[in-house]
Structure 1
Amino acid sequence: MTNRSAHTSAIKKEAKRLGFLSCGVSKAEFLEEEAPRLEAWLNKQYHGEMGYMENHFDKRLDPTLLVPGAKSVVSLLLNYFPKEQQRDDSYKISKYAYGTDYHFVIKDKLKTLLHYIQETIGAVHGRVFVDSAPVLDKAWAVRSGLGWMGKHSNVLTKQTGSFYFIAELIIDLELEYDTPVTDHCGSCTACIDACPTQAIVQPYVVDGSKCISYATIELKESIPSDFSGHMDDWMFGCDVCQDVCPWNRFSKAHREPLFQPKPALLQYSKKEWEELTEEVFQELFRKSAVKRTKYSGLKRNINFLKD
């Protein structure tokens, strides 16, 4: 077994021990195929008011600009599919936000993994990324063979569907690289047909400015009237395109204690959400991704749904 092969095997084994669903590796190089796609997406203003998407265009496509001397991008998936879900007669929260904010949970695991690499292999330099820097995580996950890009633009895996987070470790260590898997969406258009706001404008292309997740989380101003009657009771995020995907029949409940929701989150009715106070919001969503929208933002979303 070569060093490269042994190192790759050791990293994947440790990733599994840390609770990651899967781990794949690709060569740290310029994302040639993605460059024109990203440019076209931005030119069509599909990012809406997410101005940060226009920043660091080169860094998004070239990992060596983020980590000098980078050789490998280690992509990891962490399952967040919940065992129990909210009651049916409730305003809805995207499943990824049920428990502790994933940024904290995954960053800790990634730092442990990087520390393990440095302890067992030697002077390896790198950075951990959880959706907080200009990294095209879905593109790297696909390159690393962890799944294929679905028509809803989420990464899909035969065994587990798409309810997982994607994170990366970019390091200056040469490893054995995985190869992409084939696309298994076929002629299915379930996600496109089900999107309440028709945000999936064509297979594999989402107009972010039409997405319910964008309207309820990213948008800081009032929600445009175009969304009225099309929000499907989502007050934070939206899972419709994933919920209808046939591959998500294979989703299995996660085993991460920190992703467990507070009981009230699953039990609240619409009336209880409408009466939510700031004090209860702070307690219910302490260390939660829902805090991104702040109390005022969540109230705005609920009022929009109520009217």
Structure 2
Amino acid sequence: MREKDTIWIKNKCRELGFDYCGIARAEKLDDDARRLETWLSEGMQGNMQYMENYFDLRTDPARLVPGAKSVITVLMNYFPSQTQSAEVPKIAKYAYGQDYHEVIREKLKQLLMMMKQEIGEVNGRGFVDSAPVLERAWATKSGLGWIGKNGNLLNKQAGSFFFIATLIVDLELVYDDPFAKDYCGSCRRCIAACPTDAILENKVVDGSKCISYFTIELKDALLPEHLKSQFSDWMFGCDVCQDVCPWNRFSKPNSEKQFTPLPQVLNFSSNDWEELTEESFKQIFKNSPLKRRKFEGIKRNLRFIKN
């Protein structure tokens, strides 16, 4: 029965548009808890106080779903078919289309609903990046890839341009073998290319130095002047460490219509962004990840990279 249910779940994941699915036994992440504790103690979360919250929930799935037995991890490709024009304010590729939180959350809801209809009473919760779940750790445990030196999950067939989401359930399933190898080898391209030297040794990323942190997470009215020359026109997020990764030569355009790039993201010039009104911003980007930084935050970032 467990094998039948496992095969059915993986088939449904493919039908819903997920590119990969792996399943791991729900258990405490003791090693990851220690690494997270060290990372936090060294202040690498910067002003992201939410990273310090719900520590026990992050490392113990049973605290999120009572009676948790399995963690289903899915990957969804977001590599775009088109990229931005040259000489425009740069936006991370994950933010080209609709907000992935909403897109994937709806798919996880559908998956859980179908599981209840097909298998019976199943209790579970889906998590998409915005909840206290260590997605990359579960992806590794379920055989989907390894953690690269830039802190991203790397998949041998697809690189790293994909979203990771998890569904924790109280259903026992057949578990995949953990991914045990590291295929980064002696490559240090991501470390060398990082504009702000945020990528450290031993697969540690200092979040407080990352361009994504400054342009998305940091709510201060002003960005650090001494870093101005290092931002390289990144207005929202940063893809440098992924763009230089050799494994991303295997990236292929995604097939999810909701991730189709907005024309404005691809083509807005600096002048277009400068002339954009708050009303137009809210209308154009109402379903976009850019709404997280809000109109004033986008304007702040634009002034910083252009002045």
TM-score under structure 1 length normalisation: 0.98
Alignment of 1:150-299 (within 5 A): 150-181=148-179, 182-221=181-220, 222-299=222-299
Shift of 1:271: 2.5
Name whichever of 198-207 and 68-77 sits farther off: 198-207
Residues 189-229 of structure 1: CA distance to partner in whole angstroms, max 9, x if unpaired? Answer: 01000000000022310000000000000000021223211
Which of 103, 106, 109 is matched with 2:104 structurally? 106
Q: Which moved more, 1:279-288 or 1:231-240?
A: 279-288
| 2:1 paired with 1:20 | no
Q: Could you list the per-position Cα deviations for residues 224-256 of structure 1 after superposition, in whole angstroms to 9, with x for gaps in the alignment?
A: 223211111110000000000000011000011
Partner of 1:304: 304
Q: How many residues align?
A: 305
For 2:165 and 2:282, locate their aligned partners in 1 and report how far apart those are by CA, in whole Å.
27
Q: How far is the alpha carbon of 1:279 from its aligned partner?
A: 2.4
Amino acid at match of 2:135: D
- 3-state SS in 2 of match to 1:228: helix
2:132 match: secondary structure? coil
Letter in 2 for 1:164: F
Name 2:49's counterpart in structure 1: 51
Whole-Å separation in 2 of the counterparts to 1:212 and 1:79? 22
Q: Structure 2 regions of 5+ residues with no counterpart?
A: none
What is the rounded CA distance, in whole Å, between the counterparts of 1:168 and 1:262 in structure 2? 27
1: distance between equivalents of 2:103 and 2:240? 25
2-side partners of 1:203 and 1:94: how far apart? 25
Q: For the residues of structure 1 that align with 2:262 and 2:210, how far apart are their CA atoms?
A: 27
Distance 1:166 1:226 in 2: 34
In the TM superposition, what is the alpha-carbon distance from 1:275 to its structure 2 partner? Answer: 2.4
- In the other structure, the counterpart of 1:80 is 78
1:145 Cα offset (Å): 0.6
Aligned partner of 2:15: which letter?
R
User: Which letter does structure 1 place at the counterpart of 2:280?
Assistant: V
Shift of 1:305: 0.4
Contact preservation (8 Å) 1:148, 1:180: no
CA distance in 2, matches of 1:107, 1:160: 22
Tell me the distance in 1 between the aligned counterparts of 2:96 and 2:202. Answer: 29
From 93, 96, 100, give the equivalent of 2:94: 96
The one-letter code sitting in structure 1 at the alignment partner of 2:121 is: A
Give 3-state SS (helix, strand or coil) of 2:27's partner: coil
TM-superposed deviation, 1:264: 2.3
Q: What do the CA deviations read for 1:9-29 (whole angstroms, capped 9, x no partner)? A: 100000001010100000100
3-state DSSP of counterpart to 1:19? coil
Q: Give the CA RMSD over aligned residues.
A: 0.9
What does the per-residue CA deviation read over 1:141-160, in whole Å, with 9 as the maximum and x for residues that have no partner?
11111111010000001111
User: Residues of 2 paired with 1:281 and 1:31: CA distance?
Assistant: 41
In structure 2, distance between residues paired with 1:202 and 1:288: 33
The match for 1:137 is 135
Distance in 2 of aligned mates of 1:226 and 1:151: 26
Q: Under a length normalisation based on structure 2, what TM-score does the superposition of the two structures give?
A: 0.98
User: CA deviation digits over 1:110-138, x for unaligned, max 9?
Assistant: 01110111111000100010112100011
* From 59, 64, 67, the counterpart of 1:66: 64
What code does the residue aligned with 2:136 have? K
How far apart in 1 are the matches of 2:226 and 2:29? 35
- 1:255 aligns to what SS in structure 2? coil
SS in 2 for 1:33: helix
Partner Cα distance (1:258, 1:206) in 2: 30
What SS class does the counterpart of residue 205 from structure 1 fall into?
A: coil
SS of residue paired to 2:271? helix
Q: 4+ runs of 1 displaced by more than 4 Å?
A: none
